[in-house]
Structure 1
Amino acid sequence: MNQRCDELQLLNFIDRYIYIVEYITIMVKEGEKAPTFKCLDDKGKERTLQEFKDRILVLFFYPKDETAICTKEACTFRDRYEDFVKEGADVIGVSEDNQDSHQRFSSKHRLPFTLLTDQDGQLAKSYGVEKEAFIFKGRTTFIIGPEGKIACKYSSQLNYNAHVETALEY
């Protein structure tokens, strides 16, 4: 019985290790060209990476509208939004939520920035943002420089403040 438990623990460890290795190797790296995208925003408008050419873009992926940490993260970006504007940066949030959910979330929390809907998960996948614990997409922020390359990235599921601070430090 103990041997079977040990085997299961080892399999769980190996499974998690493989997941972490895949996550690290798939995610786009600093200095690489940012993957292009074409997604609908919270207002139903199609948005592309090309629109932000020659500007700094803060692209933050979060798991789900109206969840505790995601709401705190979005509101922290909201509270510091003018600091981003002063630096010439645009801010965009991305999750798998649909347009209606994004509209309600944006309106309720007075979010001044665009939210993109990534219902099929393809945008997150192209950036290497995979599901954490196989449930929700990871919480990752990318700063894309004016030349269209990843200038900085930051990942943390719980430390939502650091996403904003890291982006502002860039």
Structure 2
Amino acid sequence: MKDQRGEDFQLQQLIGKPAVIYFYPKNFTPGCTKEACNFRDSYQDFQDLGAEVVGISSDSESSHQKFAGKLNLPFILLSDANKKARKSFGVKSSLLGMLPGRETFVFDAEGKLLHRFNSMNAQRHMPEALAVLKKDRR
């Protein structure tokens, strides 16, 4: 997939450090903006745990670039225009299939899935992911 700078990125690049991968419906919508800002505001907490945060939606790289720039997002945004990543992760649509789903995955440094969380409530994803990583660190 392409990141917000138009560069190729493969999720395998994350092996070796914990990672939070979150799928969200669309840039610049109220819930997605709130979710991105929650991850931004706690990004240092994730970094302190050695973790990387990656957001994925079907928006274009240029849309991601604008979204990241406007919100000052320090983490990677990936464009999944063909929805291949969404399908391979098994992220289901919500609201009777009308909206792309909102789902967060937390992986350990070896790439093992620690937690999968599905909720359209954007505010719940960041604290849930951070709690899982803190618990795994113990």
Give the TM-score taking structure 2 as reference length. Answer: 0.92
- Residue 145 (structure 1) aligned with residue 118 (structure 2): no
Sequence identity of aligned pairs in percent?
41
Cα pair 1:142 1:152 within 8 Å, conserved: yes
Unaligned runs of 5+ in 1: 1-38
Within 5 Å, which residues of 2 pair with 1:124-163?
124-132=86-94, 133-158=96-121, 160-163=122-125
Structure 2: distance between partners of 1:163 and 1:54 = 23
Distance in 2 (CA, whole Å) between partners of 1:64 and 1:74 is 11
Q: Which residue of 2 aligns with 1:52?
A: 14
Contact in 2 for aligned 1:55/1:89 (Cα 8 Å): yes
Partner Cα distance (2:99, 2:49) in 1 = 31
- Secondary structure at 1:137 match in 2: coil
In structure 1, C-alpha distance between the alignment counterparts of 2:22 and 2:36, rounded to whole Å? 9
Provide the C-alpha distance between the structure 1 equivalents of 2:82 and 2:92, rounded to a whole number of angstroms: 12
Is residue 56–residue 145 contact of structure 1 (8 Å, CA) maintained in 2? yes
Alignment deviations for residues 77-120 of structure 1 (CA, whole Å, 9 cap, x no partner): 00000000000000000000001100000000000001000001
SS for the counterpart of 2:9 is strand
Q: Counterpart amino acid of 2:53?
A: V
List alignment gaps of at least 5 residues for structure 2: 133-138
- Which secondary structure state, in structure 1, belongs to the residue aligned with residue 52 of structure 2? strand
Amino acid of the residue matched to residue 111 of structure 2? G
TM-score, length of structure 1 as denominator length: 0.75
Residue of structure 2 equivalent to 1:26:
none
Misfit runs of 4+, over 6 Å:
none
Task: Give the structure 2 partner of residue 5 of structure 1.
Answer: none
Structure 1 residue 161: Cα displacement: 2.1
Amino acid aligned to 2:102: R
Q: How does 1:1-170 map to 2 (within 5 A)?
A: 39-132=1-94, 133-158=96-121, 160-170=122-132
Of the two, which has the highest radius of gyration? 1
CA distance in 1, matches of 2:78, 2:99: 16
Answer with 74-83 or 128-137: which moved more: 128-137
What is the CA–CA distance in structure 1 between the aligned matches of 2:99 and 2:40, rounded to whole Å? 22
